[in-house]
Amino acid sequence: MNLDPGLTAIVIATFLVAGLAKGVVGFGLPTIALALLTLAGGLFDAMALLLLPSLITNIWQAVEGGRLRALLRRLWPFLLCAAIGTLAGLRVGTGFDPGLLVLLLGLLLVLHGLSGLAGWKLRVAERREPLAGPLVGALNGVLTGLTGSFVVPGVMYLQALALPRDRLVQALGILFTVSTLALMAGLGSDGLLTADLGILSAIGVPAALAGMMVGRRIRRLLPERRFRQVFQVAILLLGLSVMVSAVAP
Comparing C-alpha atoms, which of 210, 93, 228 is closest to residue 149? 93
Report d(CA 77, CA 132) in Å as an integer. 10
Helix-, strand-, coil-residue percentages of the chain, each rounded to 5: 80, 0, 20
Do 202 and 10 contact (CB within 8 A), yes or no?
A: no
pLDDT classification of 141: cutoffs 50, 70, 90:
very high
Computed over every residue of the chain, the mean pLDDT equals: 85
With a CB cutoff of 8 Å and minimum separation 6, the contacts of 122 are 156, 157, 159, 160
Report d(CA 112, CA 179) in Å as an integer. 18
Q: What is the pTM of this model?
A: 0.79
Q: Among 43-52, 113-122, 220-229, which is the least confidently predicted range?
A: 220-229
Instruction: Summarize pLDDT for 149-174 with one digit per residue, the tens.
Output: 787 788 889 988 988 878 988 999 99
Comparing C-alpha atoms, which of 133, 45, 145, 46 is closest to residue 88? 145
pLDDT at 24 over 70: yes
pLDDT at 74 over 90: yes
With a CB cutoff of 8 Å and minimum separation 6, the contacts of 206 are none
pLDDT at 94 over 70: no
- What pLDDT is stored for residue 244 in this prediction? 80
pLDDT at 193 over 70: yes
Residue 133 identity (one-letter amino acid): G
pLDDT at 95 over 80: no
**Peptide bond preceding 53 in cis form (omega within 30 of 0):** no
pLDDT classification of 73: cutoffs 50, 70, 90:
very high
Do 34 and 204 contact (CB within 8 A), yes or no?
A: no
Mean pLDDT (whole number) for 78-90: 95
Instruction: Summarize pLDDT for 198-232 with one digit per residue, the tens.
Output: 888 999 999 999 999 998 888 778 776 777 777 78
